[in-house]
Amino acid sequence: MAALLPLAALSGWQVAAWVAALPVLLPLLIILSAWLQPEWAVWSHLADTVLMELLRNTLILVLGVSMGVLLLGISLAWLTTYCRFPGYSFFSWALILPMALPGYVLAFTTLGFLDYGGLLQQWLGRLFGANGYWFPNPRSSFMVVAIFSLTLYPYVYLLARSAFLSQGERLLEAARLLGRSPWGAFFHVALPIARPAIAAGTALAVMEALADFGTVSVFSFNTFTTAIYKAWFGLFNLPAATQLASLLLLFIFIALIVEQAMRGQARYVSAVGQQATKNRIMLNGWRGWAATIGAGSVFFLAFLLPLLQLLLWVSKRSSDLDSRYWALVVHTLLLGFLAAVLALAGALLLGVAKRRCGKGSVTVAVRVATIGYALPGSVLAVGVMLVVIGVERSLSLLLGFFAGAPSGNWLSGTILALLFAYVTRFLAVAYGPVASGLEAIRPSLVEAAYTLGSTHAEATRRIYLPMLRPSLLTALLLVLVEVMKEMPATLLLRPFGWDTLAVRIYEMTSEGEWERAALPAVMLVLAGLLPVILLVRRSSSLSEC
């Protein structure tokens, strides 16, 4: 591989690209190296206690979430793209809003509404008496899958709807002329063409479910992420956490392989000039109202109901807004801003390196650097901690040998380790908008600047940065919000006293204090609405093309 070549054989841009990829490569290699020396005693203990439960719950998540997001995402994308029913224009963008709600927020608001003593059971008790009704157990695996499906279906909805919009109506009209019914045209033409986008959205949803910590901990639903946390902080066994992280990483890689298999070898290209469909299928009578009720139910359960529940709780706990809460806000924003700036710098370095030397080792470095988003925060936290411990030991040996300085925790237990994990995980989030912005800059503009005597620094300052300003702002905002919502890595790596809004939500929900968790949750939801608004505007502009 190009990464194994002598350093002198690499150009400056190649070296820069691999330096930007190191935050992802080092933790990944260290976690994978855990298989070289497996601790059989640990695995024997896991096999006797929780391993089968973890495997069973993982299988339930993968199958259940896949079916849930496919059913909701594809059906809603089809309705809002090709059908006309009461409220279709509203639902076309409103169904994206659940992306602003972290899964663990929807989880504890749902339990607060459905659990014994919640609003729904209080109302049923007043109506039928304390023992006059039966209510299913809300803390079930079905409810966990339902929460994930309602939270993650927008991944499939967005990508499927974009694919449907790009197809236009000519292909469907051709299918109708050949004798296909509207449903036949959907299943035999529109759906197969959208398969790559649907596969990508489904893979993202499944990986998010496997990486989640907050939602499953609220329901006491044991997964590999919760087991990693318990092994680290409950048993103080970092090797056991590493072994579990490596196995979870294996499931993530399998999900990526399955996603590629779902895509197949087919390639689909839309004809030039295709436009969004204008001749929508009219759903009259009960069919139209059934579509409205279906879309409205998803929007109500996934966004409106939990938001109303949060606001109700906040109105009861307004006294919680004290100096300690503002310290949480400051910590959250500061960590998010620092991580966003670092990730943006790395993404800009990768993007320019690929543009200037977009082949060979640079392409490999970009791919390595952008797989961090597919890795769970708990897995990255384990890898980052092992990297930090190794660096600390090396520095201690060097300083002790040359200067006689005592060893110490200069990196572990500091915000540097936490920022390292954030950059590793969200570098891909920053790279997407930056790469798209760079592709929109015509090479002739930069070549003209060089012809007129501009240096690389002047071209960057006067051409790249001004034209990339919207993309850079988008990348900065997206990383900021993702860092604010990140829970597993923050819980495992945060310095003492550096609690954030996400940590506060976990602490309150783990103690069953739903109302006290509402205030930081509302803050996170409001922050999450910012990138969702950008997606809504982009989706609206695409539908009007």
What pLDDT score was predicted for residue 284? 81
One fold for 13-49+319-510 and 58-316: yes
Structure confidence at residue 73 (pLDDT):
92
| Whole-prediction pTM | 0.77
Cβ proximity of 196 and 268 under 8 Å: yes
The pLDDT of residue 44? 78
Classify domain 13-49+319-510 by CATH number: 1.10.3720.10
The answer, yes or no, to whether residue 12 has pLDDT greater than 80, is no
For the chain, give the percent of residues with pLDDT over 90.
8
Average the pLDDT over each of 17-26, 90-99, 143-152, 249-258 and give the range with the smallest value: 249-258
CATH architecture of 58-316: Orthogonal Bundle (1.10)
Among 527, 528, 502, 30, smallest CA distance to 239 is for: 30
Q: What is the predicted pLDDT for the residue at 409?
A: 62
For residue 320, what pLDDT is reported? 66
Each residue's pLDDT tens digit, 125-183: 777 776 666 667 788 889 999 999 999 998 889 888 877 776 656 666 666 666 566 66
pLDDT at 25 over 70: yes
The pLDDT confidence band at residue 116, using thresholds 50, 70 and 90, is: confident
> How is the chain split into domains, by residue range?
13-49+319-510, 58-316
Query: What pLDDT is stored for residue 374 in this prediction?
Result: 67
Asked if pLDDT for residue 273 goes beyond 50, the answer is no
pLDDT tens per residue, range 195-212:
777 887 888 788 888 888
What stretch of H or E contains 83? strand 83-84
Q: d(Cα 121, Cα 114) in Å, to the nearest integer?
A: 7
Among positive and negative, which fits the CA dihedral 102, 106, 111, 112? positive
C-alpha span between 251 and 212 (Å, rounded) = 13
Helix (H) or strand (E) holding 281: strand 281-282
- The pLDDT-based confidence of 452 (bands split at 50, 70, 90) is low
Instruction: Give the pLDDT confidence score for residue 251 in this predicted structure.
Output: 76
Q: Is residue 149 within 8 Å of residue 143, measured between CB atoms?
A: no
Whole-Å CA distances, 174 to 75, 144, 184, 271, 274 = 22, 42, 12, 14, 14
> Using CA of residue 218, residue 223, residue 226, residue 231, what is the dihedral sign?
positive
Question: By mean pLDDT, which of 1-5, 88-92, 535-539 is the weakest?
Answer: 1-5
Q: Please tell me the distance from the alpha carbon of residue 89 to that of residue 412, in angstroms, as a whole number.
A: 51
